[in-house]
Amino acid sequence: MAGPNLRAEEEAERIARTPREIATSLAARYGHSMKEVAYIPALALAGRLDVASWTSDDAAVADVQRIASAAKTPEKQPLSGPALAGHLIYAKLGQVERVTEVLKMAFDADGKPAAFLPNHGQMSDSVFMDCPLLAAAARLTGDKRYLVACGNHLDFMRQLCLRADGIYRHSPLNEAAWGRGNGFPALGLALVLRELAPGTPEMADYRQALRAHLDALLPFQDDAGMWHQVIDHPESYPEFSATCMIGLALHQGLREGWLERDRYQGPADRAWKAITRRIGMDGERVEGVCTSTGAQNTLEDYLKREAIFGRDERGGAMALMFAVEREAWERAQPR
């Protein structure tokens, strides 16, 4: 599980691809179906929209809209975190009603913002599963109660899962800092920040929260540029999806000027190069993605979770988002 064992020629070919080329190849393979609303296909659909915008591909945009419109919201209430986060595609499409309908759980019977959303499952994943959609609802509606609910939920999750060293335990069951259990908060905070108006107190607060988390994570990036299945256990395997999520947050912070280049550019570049080595030339194969993982009882349970090498919907979606952000970062560089 150490990483891809590539011939020198193939490794050079993978690394030589531009972010645009990688994103385009991923978009050709991922984001083409979503029968039931969930975050993995929704993120891939959002990535396809971004790629389509580069070439004004109206057919791809129409296809994403068709898939999103036909997808069913699960009937079970309250919605699970993955189902709620799947509604990020409707926020991106500006479909206000589909967003606000699933966020009724964010308010109590008197219409006041809840102290937390009830679908958190005591897992750090919930920073991503709930907070970005709440922030998007605030932008779409102008109703600041959603931002209050977002802040309340983040505070609740930090109290539940944020360790004293600034890294997230996956759940209170044990102190294990699962890789994707830290990727989710980094990605979640980055996506919240995309929804906030510059210069607001909320913007400053979320920027500080993201920066503090990234600062805690940087010492655990390995020499190849990867973060591992358990962040502070280097003997665990290099994990693809967590590296994509953390790498995206780093690139967004650099692009927006929130992070200093002399400290953060090197880790961001290493993360991108490491991920390019782990995406097949066909845009379908991804290498080293932890399988679906709920809260585990022990550290050992996390250490033995399977790594997927091949087609993986989650890994493909996260890689597509990362490639889109890397492309945006490169476009923002002085010519």
pLDDT digits (tens, 9 = 90+) for 273-326: 999 999 999 999 999 999 999 999 999 999 999 999 999 999 999 999 999 999
User: What is residue 335's predicted lDDT score, i.e. its pLDDT?
Assistant: 81
Distances (CA, A) of 260 to 165, 216, 252: 22, 16, 12
Task: Using the predicted structure, report yes or no on whether residue 119 has a pLDDT greater than 60.
Answer: yes
Residue 6 banded pLDDT, cuts 50, 70, 90: confident
Residue 238 banded pLDDT, cuts 50, 70, 90: very high
Ranges 1-5, 37-41, 229-233: which has the least confidence: 1-5
User: What is residue 156's predicted lDDT score, i.e. its pLDDT?
Assistant: 98
The token duo for 175 is: 């102190």
Q: What SS3 class is residue 286?
A: strand
Domains located in the chain, CATH noted: 13-331 (1.50.10.10)
Work out the mean pLDDT of the chain and round it to a whole number.
Answer: 97
Determine phi and psi for 96, rounding to 5 degrees: -60, -45
User: What is residue 143's predicted lDDT score, i.e. its pLDDT?
Assistant: 98
Residue 267 banded pLDDT, cuts 50, 70, 90: very high
Determine phi and psi for 286, rounding to 5 degrees: -125, 150
Distances (CA, A) of 41 to 71, 242, 243, 315, 320: 10, 17, 19, 11, 11
pTM over 0.75: yes
